[in-house]
Amino acid sequence: MRPHPRQYTDRPRRGYLIAPHPEHVPGSPVVRLVICPPAFYASAMTDPPPESPAMPVQLGVNIDHVATVRQARRTYEPDPVWAAVEAQLGGTDGITVHLREDRRHIQDRDVERLVEAVHIKLNLEMAATDEMVDIACRTGPQLAMLVPESREEITTEGGLDVAGQLARIRDIVARLHEAGLLVSAFINADEKQIDAAADCRFDVCEIHTGPYAHAFHDHGRDARQPAVEHELDLVRRAGRAVLDAGMQFNAGHGLNYHNVSPVAALPGLGELHIGHAIVSRSVFVGLRQAVAEMKHLLTGPAATVVDPHNAPRVTP
């Protein structure tokens, strides 16, 4: 590595230059000069700055299925707000809830209480309907994510068709922006949908990882299988397109402790939203510990794959 040019107060040697320091700020009242060979100075002024270290992937924990257990008995426990606090103590960067039109798990009052109680990012998943837009604008989560929704589905199936309803989605995004919210689209790894999302001025695109998760499960839970690599590459290329369009690249759906590591290693990834796997594991180890273990998979050494069945106890 070439040493930093030394600063001198004596006279330069023959053939050397007195020139502005490469880090001198034009217009600054303090003039920094260096004495160095001409070639050194030219290189110092043209070399690109060192790259900043990559930011760790953030985790958003979906707590819908805590409410699913509560709604099975139509009672008051377990409380999703308590779950959000436990997830935060476990190290999550955000909380996600999906207020469905049929209110099968999260209820309106849950959203209102979470907005007040959560001290980290709250992501409200919602259908692209006037009712849900009104609720989001009134309650004020940090992020509103538009997702497709059907009363017949067990969970979200596929991404939102932004391209097929451009005018309506553009209007909804504008309304949410006017309320001061960041807006995300949950979409398939499809270039047409990414272009449409950019046209609608979404801030974030969350790429649907369900096809990758299904391929991983169906092919021996081996990330090296060609079918799994193919689905992962689709997510990778979609993420690159999202970033090139000036939006944040998030991903989620179907991810668990076994299949998350290859996705977490994708370049430019901002956040992963994971729910069912974490809530399922919390039945056996507690929610705070389950979150801490998932967070460790996202922030630990990229080459390390932790066997969740033999994972060391992680201190939140």
The DSSP code sequence of 11-25 is: PPPTT-EEEE-TTPP
308 or 124, which is more confident: 124
- What is the reported pLDDT for 142? 96
- What is the reported pLDDT for 180? 97
Average pLDDT of the segment spanning 68-82 = 95
Assess whether 20 and 121 both reside in one domain.
no
Asked whether the predicted pLDDT for residue 63 surpasses 50, the reply is: yes
Q: Is the pTM of this model over 0.85?
A: no
3-state secondary structure of 149: coil
- What is the reported pLDDT for 57? 96
Assess whether 69 and 44 both reside in one domain.
no
Asked whether the predicted pLDDT for residue 302 surpasses 60, the reply is: no
Number of domains in the chain: 2
Q: What's the pLDDT tens digit per position in 191-206?
A: 999 999 999 999 999 9
Assess whether 44 and 62 both reside in one domain.
no
Contacts of 193 (CB under 8 A, 6+ apart): 159, 160, 161, 162, 163, 185, 187
Distances (CA, A) of 89 to 19, 61, 239, 298: 53, 12, 30, 16
Assess whether 85 and 220 both reside in one domain.
yes
**125: annotated active-site residue:** yes
In a domain? residue 216? yes
Maximum CA pair distance of the chain? Answer: 88
Asked whether the predicted pLDDT for residue 60 surpasses 90, the reply is: yes
- Residue ranges making up the domain that contains 225: 58-310
Average pLDDT of the segment spanning 76-102 = 96
What confidence category does residue 21 fall into, taking pLDDT thresholds of 50, 70 and 90?
low
Assess whether 62 and 44 both reside in one domain.
no
Ranges assigned E (strand) in 37-172: 58-62, 94-98, 121-126, 143-146
Assess whether 9 and 148 both reside in one domain.
no
3-state secondary structure of 266: coil
Averaged pLDDT score across all residues of the chain = 85
Which of 6-10, 144-148, 281-285 is the least confident region? Answer: 6-10
Assess whether 144 and 267 both reside in one domain.
yes
Assess whether 28 and 99 both reside in one domain.
no
Asked whether the predicted pLDDT for residue 29 surpasses 60, the reply is: no
**208: annotated active-site residue:** no
Instruction: Supply the CATH number for residue 218's domain.
Output: 3.20.20.70
Strand partners, 269: 249
In a domain? residue 19? yes
Residue whose pair of structure tokens reads 């979609």 in the numeric block: 238
Distances (CA, A) of 149 to 144, 152, 159, 162, 285: 15, 9, 10, 13, 32
In a domain? residue 316? no
Quote the distance between the C-alpha of residue 23 and its chain's center: 34
| Active-site residue identified among 253, 258, 273, 296 | 253
- What is the reported pLDDT for 55? 79
In a domain? residue 240? yes
Residue 289: its H or E element: helix 287-299
In a domain? residue 315? no
**253: annotated active-site residue:** yes
End residue of a domain, out of 31, 50, 69: 50
Assess whether 96 and 44 both reside in one domain.
no
Assess whether 90 and 9 both reside in one domain.
no
Average pLDDT of the segment spanning 126-135 = 96
- What is the reported pLDDT for 9? 40
27 or 69, which is more confident: 69
Q: What's the pLDDT tens digit per position in 229-281?
A: 999 999 999 999 999 999 999 999 999 999 999 999 999 999 999 999 999 99
In a domain? residue 83? yes
In a domain? residue 282? yes
Assess whether 281 and 143 both reside in one domain.
yes
Asked whether the predicted pLDDT for residue 41 surpasses 70, the reply is: no
Assess whether 187 and 41 both reside in one domain.
no
Which of 69-73, 162-166, 192-196, 296-300 is the least confident region? Answer: 296-300
- What is the reported pLDDT for 316? 60
In a domain? residue 260? yes
| Active-site residue identified among 98, 105, 258, 273 | 98
Contacts of 137 (CB under 8 A, 6+ apart): 175, 176, 178, 179, 181
Tell me whether the omega of the peptide bond preceding residue 78 falls within 30 degrees of 0, making it cis. Answer: yes
| Active-site residue identified among 125, 206, 231, 293 | 125
